[in-house]
């Protein structure tokens, strides 16, 4: 008796991608789907579809079969079409909480597999024994890079014990960052994606101040010469933030660092585990035992030890968890292969005595003998 298991393609799959990484996120999706034998319908963000179209030109030049990967454009109607189309077997999504829940619920009701990466509130925990220079540079880069418009931004810092003495130096380093149009030489962070996104960031910063946070660095009134009407917000730091504040509970998605203090590592762990999101977190320390304790007790899908943005390499998987993810198979790596394939198992029995005349029927389960 032999038992064999095969992983087979699903058929037609779909990918719905966000504005903030218009090349990287599609590359999480359609290459894996195609390698597994599927075709894909890709819907890029309506705000910046150009990168996807460039990749489609490259696919044509590389000799991809016609129809292997397809692109549709649009907003809500295009998303609903993907969720409802009976030919589409699986949907990959990266984006906001609201859209992610809608796609997961509607797609699942229609019998589709769905993997939905959504919002985040990623914490950096700073221990007093951390390498000071490396830690502060990592924190500033991870908090304000891409103008904070990334789901793995280190948007929240928890200073444990005496490490809070380093706060003025973080403010000083953030002040040195250059705000400019992204294509201008020397720019450290560019604009937000829309005027509405800028206004939302400004409102959340203002709400934080109203609720009692200390505004250590205010980037709300930054003006970039030559781009006076741009959607720019400079590096902003809110200190003495509390978990009940709106600026802490919501993903700001802008260049805003929320700063909290904790007396101990246990308190920091408790703060993070009480936050609903579970995309990523990082601890900065020179103590291996401290790092191990943090890694074991923290309820977050991706953990960095002295690594500010712990996005796994492609041979692993992007394993955000809790309110940051809906689905049961994560992106790329082994889990990505599992998501884009289905399992077929064959059990076969070949016995010479079964071919003999007079063999009796058996009502027992077949066994390997």
Strand partners, 348: 2
Q: Which residues make Cβ contacts (< 8 Å) with residue 341, sequence separation at least 6?
A: 7, 8, 9, 10, 36, 37
Q: Which of 66, 94, 65, 159 is nearest to 331 (CA)?
A: 94
Residue corresponding to tokens 């690594």: 307
Instruction: DSSP letter for 331, please.
Output: B
Q: Which of 43, 42, 45, 39 is nearest to 87 (CA)?
A: 39
Q: Which of 269, 265, 284, 273 is nearest to 139 (CA)?
A: 284
Here the tokens at position 362 are: 């058996």
What are the start-end ranges of the H helices in the chain? 24-35, 50-62, 76-84, 97-109, 132-144, 167-175, 195-210, 246-249, 265-274, 288-297, 333-339
Q: Which of 225, 166, 234 is nearest to 205 (CA)?
A: 234
Q: Which of 133, 146, 237 is nearest to 193 (CA)?
A: 146
DSSP-derived 3-state class of residue 365: coil
Here the tokens at position 18 are: 């966000």
Asked if 281 and 124 count as a contact pair (C-beta separation under 8 A), the reply is yes
In this structure, which long-range contacts are made by residues 275-278, counting pairs with CB atoms below 8 Å and at least 24 apart in sequence?
275/121, 275/123, 275/243, 276/322, 276/323, 277/119, 277/120, 277/121, 277/122, 277/251, 277/322, 277/323, 277/324, 278/320, 278/321, 278/322, 278/323, 278/324, 278/325
Here the tokens at position 211 are: 């609720």
Question: Quick check: is 151 catalytic?
Answer: yes
Residue corresponding to tokens 């692109």: 71
Q: Of residues 36, 59, 83, 151, which has the active-site annotation?
A: 151
- Residues annotated as catalytic are 151
């Amino acid at each position: 008796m032999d038992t064999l298991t095969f992983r087979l393609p699903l058929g037609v799959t779909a990918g719905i991608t966000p504005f903030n990484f218009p090349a990287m996120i599609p590359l999480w999706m359609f290459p894996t789907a195609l390698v597994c034998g599927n075709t894909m319908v890709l819907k890029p963000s309506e705000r910046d579809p150009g990168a996807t179209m460039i990749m489609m030109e490259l696919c044509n030049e590389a000799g991809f079969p016609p129809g292997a990967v397809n692109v549709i454009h649009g907003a809500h109607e295009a998303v609903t079409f993907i969720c409802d189309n009976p030919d589409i077997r699986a949907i990959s999504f990266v984006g906001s909480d609201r859209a992610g829940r809608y796609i997961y619920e509607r797609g699942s009701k229609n019998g589709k597999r769905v993997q939905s990466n959504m919002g985040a509130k990623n914490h950096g925990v700073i221990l007093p024994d951390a390498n000071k220079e490396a830690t502060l540079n990592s924190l500033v880069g991870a908090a304000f890079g891409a103008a904070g418009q990334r789901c793995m931004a280190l948007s929240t810092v928890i200073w444990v014990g005496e490490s809070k003495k380093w706060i003025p130096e973080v403010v000083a380093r953030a002040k040195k960052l250059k705000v400019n149009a992204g294509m201008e030489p020397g720019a450290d962070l560019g604009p937000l994606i829309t005027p509405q996104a800028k206004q939302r960031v400004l409102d959340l910063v203002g709400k934080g101040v109203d609720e009692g946070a200390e505004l250590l660095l205010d980037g709300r009134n930054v003006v970039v010469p030559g781009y006076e009407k741009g959607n720019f917000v400079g590096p902003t730091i809110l200190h003495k933030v509390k978990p009940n504040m709106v600026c802490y509970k919501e993903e700001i998605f802008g260049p805003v660092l929320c700063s909290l203090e904790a007396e101990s590592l246990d308190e920091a762990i408790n703060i993070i585990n009480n936050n609903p999101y579970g995309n990523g977190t990082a601890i900065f320390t020179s103590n291996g035992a401290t790092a191990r304790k943090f890694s074991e007790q923290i309820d977050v899908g991706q953990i960095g030890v002295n690594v500010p943005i712990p996005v796994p390499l492609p041979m692993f998987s992007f394993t955000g968890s809790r309110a940051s993810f809906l689905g049961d198979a994560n992106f790329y790596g082994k889990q990505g292969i599992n998501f884009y394939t289905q399992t077929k198992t064959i059990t076969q029995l070949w016995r010479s005595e079964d071919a003999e005349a007079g063999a009796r029927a058996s009502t027992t389960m077949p066994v390997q003998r």
